[in-house]
Amino acid sequence: MSDNNAEGPLVVMGAGVMGTAIAALAVGHGYRVTLIDRSPEARAAAPDKVELQVRTARMMSALPSGRPMGELATADTTDAAADACAVIEAVTEDPGEKAAVLAGLAAAVSPGTLLISNTSGLPIDELAGAVPRPEDLVGVHFMNPAYLIATVEVVLGPRSGDAAAAAAQKLLAGLGREGIIVGDGPGFVTSRLLHRMINDAIELVHEGRAAPETVDRLMRDCIGHRTGPLATADLIGLDNLADSLLVMHARTGSEGFRPSELLLEKVRRGELGRKSGRGFYDYEESTR
């Protein structure tokens, strides 16, 4: 058994796109992981999703060679977090849901257990109001795909404790990630910059100024954006993007964060990007 398992499992709450990606990253680094989700369908699908991502990461040499894979278990309630070495919340970007989930997790674990919110935009101090020990809570913004992007934002709210900050950096080192500390606030650094740009790119398509392929090609070939903003939006998930934009619009008042009507239309139609098979691009062949 890996030393990573000595203090109990790493618990990930939420078996969606980011939750399974973070679980795959941890399993691939030898951690014992408990993945919690209330949905029976999400729990049933999670092991195959995690296994596929671990296999892909290994093929891309994105995981340590020769390290045995950790174990994955699934559960349906926060009681399964009782003996966790750390807990990562990775549910949808809804303030009320995140606060409720964090409150439940905080009640299940021992005082001093590291609580991490994987949020792309909600201020950590806002979420800290939902937990009895705000000093245990920090934000870590994992990027998708988590097994490829080795740098993450670590967000310390005004009530985040030194012990939690140190524990987060230790955990990230065990996952082969570099944590860059940023200040708290809506969108932190990456989402504050990236999501506004993506929203503008969507609005250009909505106005008929350019097709998605044209926007992405110009941003890749002229500006050096690795994937292009609209392909990135499909990877993030258009519903997640819309939720993050709404969070930042409500908290900053900036009209640049008001979601484009085209984005909202796509979400209403269930065109959510890669995970649904269609967004600004068509992925249906690759998901069959």
pLDDT-derived band at 112, boundaries 50, 70, 90: very high
Q: Given pLDDT bands bounded at 50, 70 and 90, which one contains residue 186?
A: very high
What local confidence, expressed as pLDDT, does residue 3 receive?
A: 45
pLDDT in tens, 116-127: 999 999 999 999
Average pLDDT over residues 89-110: 96
* pLDDT at 271 exceeding the cut of 60: yes
> What share of the chain in percent tops pLDDT 70?
97
Take residue 84 and report the two structure tokens written for it. Answer: 């966790």
pLDDT at 263 > cutoff 90: yes
CA geometry: angle 267, 138, 233, nearest 5 deg: 25
Distance CA 83, CA 80 (A): 8
Distance CA 199, CA 243 (A): 12
Output the pTM of the full model: 0.90
Q: Per-residue pLDDT for 6 more than 60?
A: no
Give Cβ neighbours of residue 116 (< 8 Å, ≥ 6 apart).
86, 87, 88, 89, 137, 138, 139, 140, 168, 171
* Residue 90 in tokens: 């990775």
* Helical H segments across the chain, by residue range: 17-28, 40-59, 95-108, 124-128, 162-174, 190-206, 212-218, 229-236, 238-252, 261-268
Q: Given strand 137-141, what is the order of strands in its sheet?
A: 72-75, 33-36, 10-13, 86-89, 114-117, 137-141, 151-156, 178-183
Domains and CATH numbers, the chain: 3-183 (3.40.50.720), 190-276 (1.10.1040.10)
The pLDDT value given to residue 288:
46
